[in-house]
Structure formats: C-alpha cells, structure tokens
Structure 1
Amino acid sequence: MALIDWFPDRPPTWSEVGSAGFGVLSVLTMIPMQRPISPSWLVVGFVTATIGLGPVAQSSAGAWVGNWFRGIGEAGRAVAIVVFVLTLWGTVFALEPPISVLASTIAGAVAALALYVIVFVVLSGSIEGWTTPQDGS
C-alpha cells in the first residue's frame, strides 16, 4: 500500500485543516501543565493514530465504518460521538490512568493527526471548501 492510498481521493477541507490546527493548539496549551511527559506513551499515541488514519481507515472494515457513520445522518453521528466520548470518559474514570500517560498518548495522537493533515494538503496541492462532497468520497 503506497502512502498516497492512505488519503481520500479528494482535497482536504478547511474544516479538516482547522480541526487539526485546533487539536495542536489544545495539546500545546495542555502539555506545559503535564509533568512529566512520557516519551514511550507519546510514541504509542502517535503510532496507534497513524495506523488508524492510514491502513485501518483504508481497509474494508474502515470503509464499512465510514459508510455506516455517513449513513446514520447528522443526528446519528452526534449520538455516536456522544456515546464514544462517554464510554471513553467512563473508561478513564474507572481505570484512573496516570495523567502523564493520558496526556502523552493524546499528544502523540494529535501529532499524528497534524502530520496526516499536512501530508494530505501537500499531496493534494490544495484545500477546497468547508465540507466533503455528499457522496462521501
């Protein structure tokens, strides 16, 4: 699988670029408050997100999830996101991981997302519109 296959067959949107930028700014404001940062958990977050954004997203399972997510409509997506966030929050609350582990993993994942969006912009050569086409491509 070539690197270009990791990206949608369309240019990125301003919403995608802005979301990645907001994520980076959020992490940059969070990191100075978290001591110590764990390099190993930073790598775990980066590698996990990279795998999820690339090969997993482009697999048949990733395509199925993407089609399902687009097919449930805006209200369904909102409910799915809320359920995901509540599940994640409940898991963190129940397991109580050290904050440095959590912050480092999140920082690594956001770094992977930012790099993904930067490469997406460079490979496509442009940024177009605020939303993706309705056909889900």
Structure 2
Amino acid sequence: MRKGESFQRVSISAAEYEQLKNAEPKTKSVKILKRIQAFKLIYLGWKYSDIAGFLSVTNNTITNWINYYKEGGIDSLLALNYKGGQAKLNEEQLSELRIEASKGAFAFAKDVQYYIKQNFDIEYNLSHVQRLCKKNFNYPLKKQD
C-alpha cells in the first residue's frame, strides 16, 4: 500500500475459496501451500498480521501474495514464477567440456575450473564446477592412462 492510498481488504469469493480447497491436497510446494492457507484464512476473516504470524512469514510477504492475486487471480497464487540464475556456459561450451572430459583431460574439478577460466574466460566457484561435472559428465572424474 502506498502512502496516501486508503486500505482496502481483499475479498475472496466462495468459488475461489473452493478452488483453493481443491488445489490444496494436490500441492507439493510448501510456498504455494502457504499462499493457499493464507487466502483461506483471509476468506475466514483473519487479520493479515495474524495470518503472517501463523504462517511464519512477514507482513510484506502477505502483501506480495495479495498483489499476485490482484494481478492474476487464484491462478497466479498457484504458480511459482522463479527463473533462477542464468547459466554462464552456453551449450557449445558445455559440449566442448564433455568432449574433453570423455578424452580424460580432467582428473579433478579444479582441472575443469582451470580449463573454463583459460578457454572461456569465465570464473566459477569450485563447488559450482563440481555440480556442473555431476550434472554433465561422470564425476568424480578419472584421468585416462
């Protein structure tokens, strides 16, 4: 709520409440489950601050969920729109790494880290290189004789 705006409580229709009740048992994400529970409690007349306390979230989180609801209805509450970080290496670079790994060019993740820095001028934390290796080729790496 911006300064100067009057407070207006969001209202949930009975049909939307039923939609939330139906979605709840099918939901696997704890984040979405908390959103569903929050809006069920809003429907039952709970205060926003009480809902935040009950669900162990901040008042700002409740406000964010209300804004999602205002923008896209119940469907926007039931969707997580996280994209995550963008990969530093493109598919061509990953392919080159896979080829080098299949040749036995790397004995350790540190070798992969060094190769990435030298050939692509991209710096990775060693733990990220280890994850990259596990995801893209056999790890731990074995140097061929």
Band of TM-score, shorter chain: under 0.3
| Relative contact order, higher structure (CA 8 A, sep 6+) | 1
Where is the helix percentage greater, Structure 1 or Structure 2? 1
Q: TM-score, normalised by structure 2?
A: 0.21
Q: TM-score, normalised by structure 1?
A: 0.22
Q: Which has the larger radius of gyration?
A: 2
